């Protein structure tokens, strides 16, 4: 566990007032209890303990050991559907491994695995690697990614259907005209 104020230092305890993790520099001991420097400062200046923001302190963007708020745990559809595109937008660079899905034969296994991992770990990784204004801000942005993911998927399905309809139409026209693949097309089309 790392200090909530200095993400590069190890924590040695938690503040009794706000719950933030403290390193030796942030720690203030009083009456055999541990407090943090900011809390003691506020207490001395105002005579009361500071209010803890709803949802706790914002730990986003403080690295791989940051606490992840319970509200944002869960499946990330944006990461699952958009993989590396979502990763670039959320500073989750490991998602670029999804680009390996272009490797013939085995690529799809890597791609599918990465999709599932990003679905499971996406929220956690995005919270830790990027600074967000709040949990609500994070959720709002991730919701937009979900919609973009769904829109992208819908566009892909429409494209595939359009190509299928086109090929089917060409096949029907060809069979109506009596063209088959063994036919010499020069016979069919009168010479110009
Ligand atoms: Zn405190
Ligand atoms: Zn500290």
Show Cβ contacts of residue 6 under 8 Å, excluding neighbours closer than 6 positions.
23, 25, 26
CA distance to 7, 60, 130, 179, per residue, from 141 (Å): 24, 14, 12, 54
According to the model, what pLDDT value does residue 141 have? 98
Q: Give the pLDDT of residue 186.
A: 67
**Ligand with smallest separation from the Cα of 41:** 1
Q: Which ligand is nearest to the CA of 62?
A: 2
Protein residues within 5 Å, CB atom, of ion ligand 1: 15, 17-18, 20, 36, 39
Q: Which CA distances in Å does 157 have to 43, 112, 136, 148, 153? A: 60, 18, 32, 14, 6
Rounded distance from Cα 53 to ligand 2 centre (Å): 19
d(CA 86, CA 94): 11
Give residue 5's pLDDT. 84
Distance 124 CA to ligand 1 centre (A): 24
User: Which ligand places an atom closest to the C-alpha of 27?
Assistant: 2
Q: What is the mean pLDDT of each run of 10 residues along the chain (192 residues)?
A: 85 84 91 89 90 73 79 94 97 95 92 97 95 91 98 96 96 83 66 58
User: What's the CA-to-centroid distance between 17 and ligand 1, angstroms?
Assistant: 5
Distance 50 CA to ligand 2 centre (A): 18
Cα of 91 vs centre of ligand 1, distance in Å, is: 30
């Amino acid at each position: 566990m790392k200090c909530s104020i200095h993400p590069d230092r190890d924590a040695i305890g938690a503040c009794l007032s706000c719950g933030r993790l403290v390193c030796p520099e942030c720690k203030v001991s009083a009456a055999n209890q541990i407090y943090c420097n900011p809390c003691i400062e506020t207490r001395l200046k105002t005579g009361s303990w500071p209010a803890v923001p709803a949802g706790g302190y914002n730990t986003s963007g403080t690295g791989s050991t940051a606490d992840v708020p319970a509200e944002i745990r869960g499946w990330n559809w944006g990461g699952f559907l958009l993989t590396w595109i979502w990763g670039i937008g959320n500073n989750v660079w490991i998602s670029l491994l999804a680009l390996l899905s272009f490797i013939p034969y085995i690529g799809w296994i890597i791609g599918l695995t990465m999709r599932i991992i990003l679905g499971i770990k996406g929220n956690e990784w995005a919270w830790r690697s990027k600074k967000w204004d709040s949990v609500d801000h994070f959720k709002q942005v991730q919701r937009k990614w979900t919609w973009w993911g769904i829109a992208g998927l819908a566009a892909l399905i429409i494209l595939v259907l359009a190509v299928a309809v086109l090929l089917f139409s060409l096949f029907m026209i060809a069979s109506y005209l009596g063209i088959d693949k063994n036919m010499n097309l020069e016979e069919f089309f009168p010479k110009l």
